[in-house]
A and B are shown apart, each in its own frame.
Chain A
Amino acid sequence: QSVLTQPPSVSAAPGQKVTISCSGSSSNIGNNYVSWYQQLPGTAPKLLIYDNNKRPSGIPDRFSGSKSGTSATLGITGLQTGDEADYYCGTWDSSLSALVFGGGTKLTVL
């Protein structure tokens, strides 16, 4: 059972928009920055979003992040078949004194 809660799966058609939620508490998301990762099958995770809504160099603006209270959201617009992957949120948990991740969300582009 992960400290951060994500939906197990989401799906949408090519070209459409999808959002992935990440729910936590005041000890983690509520008072710390959130990052998001994309993990393509058989590969290492890749940083998509850091500090809630910032994109590293090279990440297209189709990917966006936001945070409100104890929840965070990853948005992906203009979906492509190449976006099919698992997506993870992560943040520091002050009560656990550990970095924690969500359980992951599998994105299917129909």
Chain B
Amino acid sequence: QVQLQESGPGLVKPSGTLSLTCAVSGGSISSSNWWSWIRQPPGKGLEWIGEIYHSGSTNYNPSLKSRVTISVDKSKNQFSLKLSSVTAADTAVYYCARRYDIAAGDAFDIWGQGTMVTVSS
């Protein structure tokens, strides 16, 4: 059973860089899945940030593309998110999730528990 676990600082200063890691356990990050980051501001809906394949190929939400970098570390079976120039609007619960490879469309079948990141001085 594949499980995902996010980790990283819970507090980031404005204009700084948010850095999170998602550890994959119970399976290989080199499987035929795309791996995504999704966030949810307090009391609000979900926003897709972007995704990565084990080859290093990425897709980003155009609304965040200029500030986002997603990378993969196959040796550690994990992938990471970096979001630069953060503001209070980036305060959210950040989830990592696995794209459901059985689906013809876009769906996420496995999610991490989420980690709250607050942007504040």
Contact = CB atoms under 8 A, between A and B. Distances in A.
Interface residues of A, number: 29
Given A98-B61, A98-B62, A47 B109 contact: yes
Nearest to A33: B105
Contacts of A103: 45
Interface stretch (B10-18, B19-27, B72-80, B110-118): B110-118
A50 interface: yes
B95 interface: yes
Interface string A33-52: 11101000001111100111
B48 A44 contact: no
Interface in B65-107: 95, 100, 102-107
Contact of B111 (A2, A34, A44, A102): A44
B31 interface: no
B111 to A, nearest CB: 4
B2 interface: no
A29 B105 CA distance: 11
Interface of A: 2, 32-35, 37, 43-47, 50-52, 54, 56, 88, 90-92, 96-104
